[in-house]
Chains A and B, each alone.
Chain A
Amino acid sequence: MSNLLTISPSPHAKGKDTVQNLMWSVILALVPAFLFSLYMFGIGALVTTLVSVGFCMLFEWIVTKIFLHEQHHLRDGSAILTGILLAFNLPSNISPFIVMVGAAVAIGVAKMSFGGLGMNLFNPALVGRVFLLISFPTQMTSWPVPIESRLQYLDAVTGATPMSHDMLGKADIMDMLFGMTGGSLGEVAAIALILGGVYLLWRRIITWHIPVSIIATVAIFSLIVWLVTGDAGHNPVYQLIGGGLMLGAIFMATDYVTSPMSSKGKLIYGVGIGVLTVLIRFWASYPEGMSFAILLMNAVTPLINKKFKPTRFGESK
């Protein structure tokens, strides 16, 4: 026999999952939301997404090839995914230079400086987004009016997000569900995001624990506040479908690298994000709290992993 027999420890069978197809499946799950935002924001959505993905890939390539002298991993799709998620968190009329800065922070600082894929403590896209939010507050919080500004890019007509407190309670729920309101590129159409989430659950790429616990916590917490204060802006329905909640709960918080491992840990993490989101939305100076809530819980993830171990066989009755 010409070929030598391969020997290796068991098992000798392998499931179908690879890093590459997991990442591309998540990208696929984001497609409905992207199509929606194309319809809403037109050219701006397309340009911002392309710029963001392009720079994320470029920075990843630069760091791996030039600084680390390693084989690049662009094909695994993780840089592309970070790029899309970053773009989804930006207004569609934002300057490409700002996007570039965001991509540099997301890939260079939040991902590669920790050691690349799998090593980062914080969700790279969110670190990029929060960095931009702090550095460019005006640009990051003036969202173009949907549909009308489809053919405009940088000069788009802007309006307030329904998440700013005085606007809440006035917007129409159906409009919010179908993205007919202002907001970041990818977060506007709750229904398209939910569709993507269902696909991810069906493919078993994510488990239900994180999205469900976040959504349930936000619903219950804001319901209590709403009943106590009677303020229309605290209506849980708006809280759930408005702002980045769906995007965050389904796509950002479930990021493998920065979320806990065990089911118990995932529930704790989700509840934590839900509580922090409502706290920031209602009582802090930012109208939107999802990004901060996720990043804060990212920081706690190692502790959660240490504290909340899965139930071992033989422990449960």
Chain B
Amino acid sequence: MDNVIVVSLLVLGGIAALAAVILYVISKKFKVEEDPRIDQVADLLPGANCGGCGYAGCRNFAEGCVKDLNGKFCTAGGSDVMAKIAEVLGGEVSAPDPKVAVVRCGGSTACRPKTNKYEGAATCAIVASTYGGETGCAFGCIGLGDCVAVCKFGALSIDEATGLPKVNEEKCTACGACASACPKMVIELRKKALKFRKVYVSCVNKDKGPIAKKACSNACIGCGKCVKACNFEAIKLENNLAYIDSSLCKMCRKCVEQCPTGALKEENFPPRKPKDEAAPQLNAASGADKVNINPPQAQQAPMADNKNNQSNEQ
């Protein structure tokens, strides 16, 4: 018996020793020399490989940073992460304006009635390559969630009530994956303001006013009232569509009051004080943190059970 144990110990030990030697030799011989700082930087990064920086993945970005930090910015990690990276590598980081993804389509199921039923592969990209969509609007959100699928931070979800994607601003890192995944280019990265306040045109329909209006009661009809209302020349009207430049907008919200269809939206502002005259009322009922999408026209649309439909103070 003893003999067996000794022999097996020797044999197994021998194999182990041999394997160790082979491993050691190979690891020495084929070692790839690498800047240790790449690992350090890579460890600091969020590791989501979102591609927001323009590199294929976080490690590639780290390599890029080690080569030259100038102009590099990790949108997902933000300036905190970049500060730490700068500490490791030395040098300065220039932070671009923080941004956040905004869904520029207000065509909820209630105000944009379906004209067709789509069947087939359920991705927005495929629908967009064969059809304009299930509604009369060939520009707006398709609602099958290609953007949700690509978001690595769980910041997007399809709102069941509206059928549109909803951005969780806290989680959004502005990596831009959703914006490039959207075949209709509905999602835009816009300047992030205090408390995620934003004023934007929630429509990308370039059809003429009556056609756009017929397809969606929330559409921009290109009337130009907002352009006149804006004192900062932040709004441009092109192809029957208004667009607010977020770098010029001062968030005065005058334009929002002018919009006849409710395509212009203000979000995350404290509720406005009700005015005496017939200015568009904005109810406090929906709460300060809620999105105020209560344009007067929206209520005339055939609404089923829209939760935002409680503001009938006219």
Residues in B100-127 with C-beta less than 8 Å from chain A: 114-121, 126
Taking a contact as CB atoms under 8 Å apart, the answer to whether A4 and B115 are in contact is yes
Residue B130 interfacial (CB < 8 Å): yes
Taking a contact as CB atoms under 8 Å apart, the answer to whether B120 and A5 are in contact is no
Taking a contact as CB atoms under 8 Å apart, the answer to whether A8 and B120 are in contact is yes
Taking a contact as CB atoms under 8 Å apart, the answer to whether A8 and B115 are in contact is no
Taking a contact as CB atoms under 8 Å apart, the answer to whether B116 and A6 are in contact is yes
Size bracket of the A interface: under 10
Most buried by B among A5, A6, A8: A8
Residues in A1-20 with C-beta less than 8 Å from chain B: 4-9
Among candidates B114, B115, B120, B134, residue contacting A9 with C-beta atoms closer than 8 Å: B120
Taking a contact as CB atoms under 8 Å apart, the answer to whether A9 and B126 are in contact is yes
Bound together, the chains give a CA A134 to CA B304 distance in angstroms of 63
Bound together, the chains give a CA A5 to CA B136 distance in angstroms of 13
Most buried by B among A4, A5, A7: A7
Residue B153 interfacial (CB < 8 Å): no
Number of interface residues of B (CB under 8 A): 12
Nearest Cβ on chain A to B53's Cβ, whole angstroms: 34
Chain A neighbourhood of B196, CB < 8 A: none
B174-210 contact mask (Cβ, 8 Å, vs A): 1 or 0: 0000000000000000000000000000000000000
Taking a contact as CB atoms under 8 Å apart, the answer to whether A5 and B126 are in contact is no
Taking a contact as CB atoms under 8 Å apart, the answer to whether A7 and B114 are in contact is no
Bound together, the chains give a CA A9 to CA B126 distance in angstroms of 9
Bound together, the chains give a CA A9 to CA B131 distance in angstroms of 9
Among candidates B116, B121, B126, residue contacting A7 with C-beta atoms closer than 8 Å: B116
Residue numbers of A with Cβ under 8 A of B are 4-9
7 shortest interchain CB distances as A-B pairs:
A8-B119, A8-B120, A7-B116, A6-B117, A4-B117, A9-B120, A9-B130
Residue numbers of B with Cβ under 8 A of A are 114-121, 126, 130-131, 134
12 extra A-B contacts, CB within 8 A, seeds A5-B117, A6-B119, A7-B134: A4-B115, A4-B116, A4-B117, A5-B116, A7-B116, A7-B118, A7-B119, A7-B131, A8-B118, A8-B119, A9-B120, A9-B130
